[in-house]
Amino acid sequence: MHKYDMLKRADRACFLEERDVMVKAMAKNSPWIARLHHTFQDEKYLYFLMDFYNGGDMLTLLSKFDDRIPENITKFYAAEIVMAINSLHELGYVHRDIKPDNILVESSGHIVLGDFGSCLRLKDGIVKVNTAIGTPDYISPEILRAAEDSHGTFGIECDYWSFGVVLFEMLFGETPFYSENLIETYSRIMNFSQHLKFPTECGDISECAKDLIQKLICDRKARLGRSGLADFIKHDFFTGIDWEHLRDRKSIHS
């Protein structure tokens, strides 16, 4: 990473946060966070020495399945994504940019969470920020609202909104609020109750999968995940998942 570019974009704090997240994850030996081995610098660049994830990312996986991942495989990966997000929250951070590009796939087929440049440290379970950081199709309405309100706050629930969008994309092959016009995308997100619709041509998706999506892409106060991992363990979509030994089992697709 070029130091001049970082200073030009005022990114110094972002890369410090990214380093700190991975250092803390490494100290806890977390299997769900991209592994950082060393950081160093020279006159021009900062360097992060990390594991190489040769399975690509969730976009790679989507392309292997022609953009729609079968529900039984989605179930496995959705559980792993929940574990990864929860492990980040347990470190005291909110990600703010959960999307397929940032869900990395190991050669074993298991996933890790990556790209922590948008992370913020939680204070009493919330963050206060007035800039809309994130990727448009996946950003939550509370982040957009906080950008308009100097007193706006949000918490870990914003990551579970983004997870809901990723889950929708895995099952249906598209994101729910996409528009070629950015303002229209944001308008659809802010008015999600009117615009969240399941494609009728995808009749093979179970009702419990749709229910999970609706409980993620919803008002933040009612959103699944606010109470942590327990919210997902109890949901019917994850029936049969052995949460304690999820990473010990052979990946369903490797």
**CATH number, position 81:** 1.10.510.10
Q: Which entry of 5, 57, 67, 97 is annotated as an active-site residue? A: 97
Asked whether 202 and 68 are in contact (CB, 8 A), the reply is yes
| In a domain? residue 22 | no
What's the structural domain count of the chain? 1
pLDDT score for 96 = 94
Q: Domain limits at 96?
A: 53-245
Asked whether 87 and 32 are in contact (CB, 8 A), the reply is yes
| In a domain? residue 24 | no
| In a domain? residue 11 | no
- Rounded to whole angstroms, how far apart are CA atoms 79 and 66? 21
pLDDT in tens, the chain (254 residues): 565 565 555 554 577 888 999 999 999 999 999 999 998 888 888 888 999 999 999 999 999 999 999 999 999 999 999 999 999 999 999 999 999 999 999 999 999 999 998 999 998 888 877 777 889 999 999 999 988 876 678 999 999 999 999 999 999 999 999 999 999 999 999 999 999 999 998 889 999 999 999 999 999 999 999 989 999 999 999 999 999 999 988 876 65
pLDDT score for 149 = 76
| In a domain? residue 143 | yes
| In a domain? residue 91 | yes
| In a domain? residue 7 | no
DSSP tag of 33: B
pLDDT score for 15 = 74
Angle at 172 between CA 171 and CA 176, to 5 degrees: 115
pLDDT score for 220 = 95
Is 101 noted as a catalytic residue in this protein? no
DSSP, collapsed to helix, strand or coil, labels residue 165 as helix
